[in-house]
Amino acid sequence: MSLTTLPMDVHAIRQDFPILSQKVHGKPFVFLDSGASAQKPKQVIEAMRFVMEEQYANVHRGLHYMSEKASDAYENVRDKVAELLNAGSREEIVFTRNATESINLVAYTWGRTALNPGDVVAVSEMEHHANLVPWQMLRDAHGTELRIIKITDSGELDWDSLEQVFADGKVKLLALTHMSNVLGSYTPVERLAKFAHAHGAKILLDGSQAIVHRAVDVRAIDADFYVFSGHKLYGPTGIGVLYAKAEILDAMPPFLGGGDMIASVSYQKSTWAKPPHRFEAGTPAIIETIGLGAAIDYVRAIGFDAIAEHEQQLTEHALATLNQVEGLRILGSAQDRGGVISFVMKDAHAHDIATLLDRQGIAVRAGHHCAEPLMGRLGVSSTARATFGLYTLPEEIDALASGLERVRKIFA
Amino acid sequence: MSEALYQSIVLESSRNPQHAGRPAVFNAEGRSENRMCGDIISIFRGADGWRHEAQGCAILAASAELMCIAATGKTAAEISMLSWMFEKLVNTGEVNPELGDLNALASIAQYPSRLRCATLPWSALGNAIAGDAENG
Write down the pLDDT at residue A235.
Answer: 98
Write down the pLDDT at residue B4.
Answer: 80
B111 lies in which domain range?
4-135
* All structural domains of chain A with their residue ranges: 3-38+303-411, 46-300
In terms of CA atoms, which chain A residue is nearest residue B112?
A: A355
- CA gap B11, B16 in Å, rounded: 8
Query: At B28, which CATH number?
Result: 3.90.1010.10
Q: Where are the alpha helices (DSSP H) in chain B?
A: 8-15, 58-71, 76-92, 115-135
- CA gap A20, A37 in Å, rounded: 14
Given CB atoms, is B112 within the 8 Å cutoff of chain A? no
- ipTM at complex level: 0.86
Q: Where are the alpha helices (DSSP H) in A178-327?
A: 189-198, 210-213, 218-221, 246-251, 286-302, 304-322
Residue A341: half-sphere exposure toward Cβ, Cα within 13 Å:
24
Contact B57 A375 (CB under 8 A): no
Contact predicate A133/A107, CB 8 Å: no
Q: What tens digit of pLDDT does each residue of A262-308 get?
A: 888 888 889 999 999 999 999 999 999 999 999 999 999 999 999 99
Task: Compute, in degrees rounded to 10, the torsion defined by CA atoms A43, A45, A50, A53.
Answer: -160
Q: What tens digit of pLDDT does each residue of A104-155 get?
A: 999 999 999 999 999 999 999 999 999 999 999 999 999 999 999 999 999 9
Write down the pLDDT at residue A199.
Answer: 98
Averaged pLDDT, A29-56: 98
Write down the pLDDT at residue B1.
Answer: 42
Averaged pLDDT, A336-345: 96
Within 8 A of A385 by CB-CB distance, chain B residues are none
Out of B3, B36, B38, whose CB is closest to A359?
B3
The residue among A346, A355, A385 with the most chain B CBs within 10 A of its CB, best to mutate, is A355
Q: What tens digit of pLDDT does each residue of A149-200 get?
A: 999 999 999 999 999 999 999 999 999 999 999 999 999 999 999 999 999 9
Query: For A46-300, which CATH class?
Result: alpha beta
Write down the pLDDT at residue B136.
Answer: 53
In terms of CA atoms, which chain A residue is nearest residue B36?
A: A367
Using only C-alpha atoms, what is the Rg of chain A?
A: 22
Q: What tens digit of pLDDT does each residue of B49-99 get?
A: 999 999 999 999 999 999 999 999 999 999 999 999 999 999 999 999 999
Given CB atoms, is B34 within the 8 Å cutoff of chain A? no
Given CB atoms, is B117 within the 8 Å cutoff of chain A? yes
Contact A356 B3 (CB under 8 A): yes
Residue, of A145 and B38, whose pLDDT is higher: A145
Write down the pLDDT at residue A368.
Answer: 85
The residue among B8, B33, B57 with the most chain A CBs within 10 A of its CB, best to mutate, is B57
Write down the pLDDT at residue B2.
Answer: 62
What pTM, to 2 d.p., does this model score? 0.93
Contact B2 A25 (CB under 8 A): yes
Within 8 A of B58 by CB-CB distance, chain A residues are 348-349, 352, 411
CA separation, residue A382 to residues A170, A242, A355, A395 (Å)? 34, 30, 14, 26
CATH architecture of A3-38+303-411: Alpha-Beta Complex (3.90)
Q: What tens digit of pLDDT does each residue of A195-252 get?
A: 999 999 999 999 999 999 999 999 999 999 999 999 999 999 999 999 999 999 999 9
As for how many domains chain B has, the answer is 1
